Structure 1
Amino acid sequence: MAEPTDIGTILSRGAATVESGRLRFFSKAIGESDPIYFDESAALDAGHRGIPVPPTFLFCLNGEVSGAGNTLSRLKLDLARILHAEQAFSYKKMVYAGDVLQFETKVADVYDKKDGQLHFVVMETAVSDVDGHVVAQLRSTIVERRNG
């Protein structure tokens, strides 16, 4: 079980390249109809330098970089008992197909509610470009249900 002493612990670090084929697939999967998210010509015509990353794609890419199963194991959380409670994004700069991104996820908070029946873990991820500039901050909260 994650403890308040885990706050600040780095859970994962890793890099990933944003691939245009994956962006196209992701955009279609979420029902995105704006062609800038799957047609490079449309993106360039709209003033972008390539296919832009849809808003929630970085969360998915971070899940792959961090290995979600490894994260749950490190936090000693039972997959069968957890729920995705919340997620938030703060964007600093546009990200495009071909960009190489660095992800660093750490524990931001750990707390209980309902006399310990609900155990919350808040994680924050800094996403940076190859020059080290932060392009986005991701925040995710998971809750583990516990028996009495």
Structure 2
Amino acid sequence: MADKSSIGTVMGAGTVEAEKGRLRFFAKAIGETDPIYTDEAAARDAGHRTLPVPPTFLMCMSSETSDLATRMKVLQMDLGRILHAEQAFDYHRMAYAGDTLHFETRLSDVYDKKGGALHFAVMETKVTNQNGEHVADLRGTLVERRG
């Protein structure tokens, strides 16, 4: 049975600046062709104040605010036996190049399936900007094959 005593534990917190070069690089790496993610004039023409943060880039930024080894220790998971099971995003406002984003990740659930052979850990991250405005909620699930 999954040990639920760690639910609510802060798994990472920190601040990351959304830098234009990184945003352009990420957009190129994922094959994004919409120029609003790489060209400031196109972004402004589309109604944005500057380059918007590509939606899934928030998960990459979030990973910079926690230590993986510490996270695995708290979760009692073996890095060599885990898979990324699920990822979801709820957006509340746009984030832009130049924004300073704060991420706080908490363990929100742990559970087992298949008689404990599969162990799941769900983490939720609240993202706010430099003005304290709620930008997004990120949710990620890891699964570890046990036994």
TM-score category, normalised to shorter length: over 0.9
Q: Distance in 2 between matches of 1:69 and 1:61?
A: 17
Q: How far off its partner does 1:131 sit?
A: 2.1
Partner of 1:44: 44
**Alignment-derived partner of residue 122 in structure 1:** 122
Identity %: 60
Q: Secondary structure at the match of 1:115?
A: helix
Aligned partners of 2:54 and 2:144: how far apart in 1? Answer: 29
Q: Which residue of 2 aligns with 1:102?
A: 102
The total of aligned residue pairs comes to: 146
1:23 corresponds to 2:31: no
Shift in Å, 1:55: 1.1
Normalising by structure 1, we get a TM-score of 0.95
Match of 2:113 in 1: 113
Alignment partner of 1:92 is 2:79: no
Secondary structure of 1:102's counterpart equals strand
Q: Equivalent residue of 1:27, what SS? A: helix
Q: Which runs of 4+ in 1 moved over 4 A?
A: none
Tell me the equivalent position of 2:35.
35
Q: Note if 1:145 corresponds to 2:145.
A: yes
SS in structure 2 at match of 1:80: helix
Cα distance in 2 for residues equivalent to 1:131 and 1:52? 17
The Cα of 1:70 is off from its aligned counterpart by 3.0
Write the deviation string for residues 62-120 of structure 1: whole angstroms up to 9, x where unpaired.
01122334322332211110000000000000000000010000000000010100000
TM-score of the two chains, using structure 2 as the length reference:
0.95
Equivalent-residue separation in structure 2 for 1:136 and 1:34 (angstroms):
22
Q: Structure 2: 5+ residue runs without aligned partners?
A: none
1:123 counterpart letter in structure 2: M
CA gap of 1:38–1:67, structure 2 versus 1, over 3 A, is farther
Structure 1, unmatched stretches of 5+, are: none
Corresponding residue of 1:82: 82
Which residue number in structure 2 is paired with residue 72 of structure 1? 72
Q: Structure 2: how far apart are the matches of 1:104 and 1:66?
A: 9
Return the letter of the residue paired with 1:68: L
| Structure-2 residue corresponding to 1:8 | 8
